[in-house]
């Protein structure tokens, strides 16, 4: 899943980015509201973490603008403004959640999981394709009851494939959701990680689940 953090305080932005990346998310950063709006108009994101006190375009204005434009990406407001009145303004502007600073990263992470689950009502706490099961809370992956150990990036790639099970996903689609905006699409990194996953997911099973569709991309299916 790909998240945009719109935050002008560099230390906080990098702290949030580092923590989210450790959990397997692809993360981009915008340092002001104008840059954030541009990035949202040119890239697809699964969630937005938005500060209120931003240069150029403040968070409330940006949130209202996005909703007027029809952008329904889940928004978590992260701000030092913590009065009830401030929270009401934030939620009424179109935000899905509101977390005052200072905050515990563990709580932010839980709130991210909540808005992502709400975004896709089909997904609760598990993804399942035939005998392959991925737990979104514990990050445990099993196939046929056998637990499979994955790295953070392997897990993120598998999650994206499972969310799109039965559909072809291109390398561009994968790069946009599993890697950040600085990813070099001309490298063979995606192919390498697909092979890593194949060796772990399909190894020892007669039925292969991860398929290459020549000239198009990859497909996960029963």
Span 61-95, pLDDT tens digits: 999 999 999 999 999 998 888 788 888 988 999 99
Is 2-119's fold the same as 126-220's? Answer: no
Structure tokens at 86: 């401030």
Q: Which fold has domain 126-220?
A: Arc Repressor Mutant, subunit A (1.10.10)
* Confidence (pLDDT) at 121: 55
Scanning 8-56, the segments in alpha helix (DSSP H) are 10-22, 33-42
Is the pLDDT reported for residue 119 higher than 80?
no
Distance set, CA 24 to CA 80, 106, 158, 212 (Å): 27, 14, 11, 23
pTM of the model: 0.72
Number of Cβ within 10 Å of residue 124's Cβ equals 10
DSSP 105: H
In the chain, where are the structural domains located?
A: 2-119, 126-220
Q: Which fold has domain 2-119?
A: Rossmann fold (3.40.50)
What confidence tier does 99 reach under pLDDT thresholds 50, 70, 90?
very high
What confidence tier does 123 reach under pLDDT thresholds 50, 70, 90?
very low
């Amino acid at each position: 899943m790909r998240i945009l953090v719109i935050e002008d305080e560099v230390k906080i932005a990098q702290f949030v980015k580092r923590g989210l990346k450790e959990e397997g998310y692809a993360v981009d950063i915008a340092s002001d509201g104008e840059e954030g709006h541009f990035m949202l108009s040119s890239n697809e994101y699964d969630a937005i973490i938005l500060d209120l006190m931003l240069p150029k375009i403040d968070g409330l204005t940006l949130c209202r603008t996005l909703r007027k434009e029809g952008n329904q990406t889940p928004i978590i407001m992260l701000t030092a403004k913590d009065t009830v009145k401030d929270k009401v303004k934030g939620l009424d502007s179109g935000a899905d959640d509101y977390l005052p600073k200072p905050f515990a990263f563990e709580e932010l992470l839980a709130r991210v999981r909540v808005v992502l689950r709400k975004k896709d009502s089909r997904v609760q706490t598990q993804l399942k394709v035939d005998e392959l099961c991925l737990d979104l809370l514990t990050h445990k992956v099993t196939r046929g009851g056998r637990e499979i150990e994955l790295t953070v990036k392997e897990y993120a790639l598998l999650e994206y494939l499972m969310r799109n099970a039965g559909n072809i996903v291109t390398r561009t689609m994968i790069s946009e959701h599993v890697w950040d905006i600085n990813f070099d699409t001309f490298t063979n990194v995606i192919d390498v990680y697909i092979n890593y996953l194949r060796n772990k997911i399909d190894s020892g099973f007669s039925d292969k689940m991860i398929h290459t569709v020549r000239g198009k991309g990859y497909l996960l299916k029963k």
